[in-house]
Structure 1
């Protein structure tokens, strides 16, 4: 009798853990974007967040959904993809609305236009293949992103339908889906490099990325998900760690080599000590043209405050 009760308790506990793990997998992926979303709304500035992160996750999750038609995997992973797609569209909508509010003087860039025109001028109708590659994924309107996502979904679904009987194609599709997701940190790392700072990037988001992907990789292993999932999960963890700590180490090394004090949250900052004209000129001569763009604003501040 005691053994039967114990078995029932163990079964109930196992079911509860399974449900909790499934809910964590489904909704846990969107949690890291909550602090980033709040930061963008609070500051009305989306420059620190790379919208290419949204592109990576949209492509990855669309391909993952298509992969399930040829290779079955856990239903929570399917719902995770659906929830993530909705979340990325919400993030894109916020970023575009903030960008349009803060860049009123910029010209409107459209997915269906080959040239940029002012917002007041109606964009002429063009063929889908005529959109301007110079402004790919940098459009001003949220509807342009929707057009792109829908076009990619239809095209990928059609190709998948034609080649669904090919085992090689299905497995390659699954690998491409999770490998694309493994490159999640790359757009943010490039955005940090362009900005020469991690300012505007939510550190909470990166830390949640890392912890979430660690949990997700363990879930893949325990549920015996396809091998593509957990291999690329490990790659994603490594990439996310480098996104935060690798860039901080690089900017600290560069800044210290030129006598700067560094705030790893806000990027390069001048030391508090005054810099004389001679020292400023020596610094300017020491920095190569390739690195000059990193330090130019700070050298100008140094010269002005020292003069």
Structure 2
């Protein structure tokens, strides 16, 4: 079965509304076409992530699913979805449309698959450079897709977008340290653990001590620097994009601040913002966007 373009957009919007949480409402700060494109982007990324993280399936089964997804994406992009009966996911017609409309490089969508594939087996990273490469594949490319949708006027947006994705992904890594170890994943570089005489076994044992606090303080401070450096992205993108990016900074930055407030004890509870606060941030982004649009229309 193939989906019409309108059905594909509707499918992506439904999936985003059901699973994107408060980010879905942040998308509403954009123009209708951009809002739809963000839903498509989210649907694609979410589907790939679910294929790689399905808890009831063996790693080899998930690997086969991702391989099939990569092959389907290649066929769809090659045949441009014009071959009758060509099998593809309901998100693909809309994905093709936004790739053309916003001139998004196709390689970004394959890079994400590569990133998710790297999580199929237990992972460790020896150096921060190696971790940075992983973060590019699962988060940096998302930032690059976003700036194409939002609109940018300076090629310096590319590097800033990658660094923004790194800041967000590092926040996720620090927040989810306790959950990831159960999946055999130690994202913090081993060179950083060695620096503070902390080990993957300490993470497994949830050893919350001064070594751990020093390690986390170091990682949080480094992540803050990525936030600060990537803020230059605001100067390179459209006003509509600035609104949603500011909202994302407030949400992810708020999580990082919560980790600090908890004195880095991510073992005892999961750092996060209350739903009302995330809804407030999304609402403020929408209001600011509408206000800016009305002023520019005068």
Tell me which interval the TM-score lies in, with the shorter structure as reference length: under 0.3
TM-score normalized by the length of structure 2: 0.27
Larger Rg: 1
